[in-house]
Amino acid sequence: FVEGVLHLRGAMLPVVDLRRRLLGQQTPETRRTRLLVCRLGARRVVARVDRVAEVLRVRKGDIKPAPALMAAGRTPFIVGVCGPPERLRLLLDLKALLRAELERESRGTPG
């Protein structure tokens, strides 16, 4: 799911395809495909996504626990939910989603 690297402001950032990571499918390139630069602690990673519908700023206090079925380990990459009941949004745990790759990078081992 790591597609390569992107040179941004003097740093080499890994580019990961989230569709491939989550579903095992290659993401077809479209006009809506976007690259998101994400901060994970001191690191940055570029996430390739199918599209971006909106960008939100969410305070930690507004995040509610994931529903019981999700918390039972069926979806280990869900942090929680936010928003009003009629428009809930699932929040991905990008760090957990990329944990194996980040650990491999830290050890200097090729993927």
The whole-number average pLDDT for the span 79-91 is 86
CATH of residue 29's domain is: 2.40.50
User: Can you give the pLDDT at residue 111?
Assistant: 52
Q: Please provide the average confidence, as pLDDT, over all residues in the chain.
A: 80
Residue 100 lies inside a defined structural domain of this protein: yes
Residue 68 lies inside a defined structural domain of this protein: yes
What is the span of the domain harbouring residue 26? 2-106
Per-residue tokens: 46 = 């570029």
pLDDT at 71 over 70: no
Which residue is associated with the tokens 């992107």?
Answer: 6
* Residue 81 neighbours by CB distance under 10 Å: 17
Q: Distances from the Cα of 104 to the Cαs of 45, 98, 108, in angstroms? A: 14, 10, 6
User: Can you give the pLDDT at residue 21?
Assistant: 80
pLDDT at 108 over 70: no
- The residue type found at 21 is R
14-18, 69-73, 100-104: which is most confident:
14-18
Residue 65 lies inside a defined structural domain of this protein: yes
pLDDT at 110 over 60: no
Residue 8 lies inside a defined structural domain of this protein: yes
Residue 111 lies inside a defined structural domain of this protein: no
Q: How many domains are contained in the chain?
A: 1
Residue 88 lies inside a defined structural domain of this protein: yes
CA distance 93 to 14: 17
Residue 54 lies inside a defined structural domain of this protein: yes
Helix or strand holding residue 12 (H, E) = strand 11-17
The whole-number average pLDDT for the span 56-85 is 77
pLDDT at 10 over 70: yes
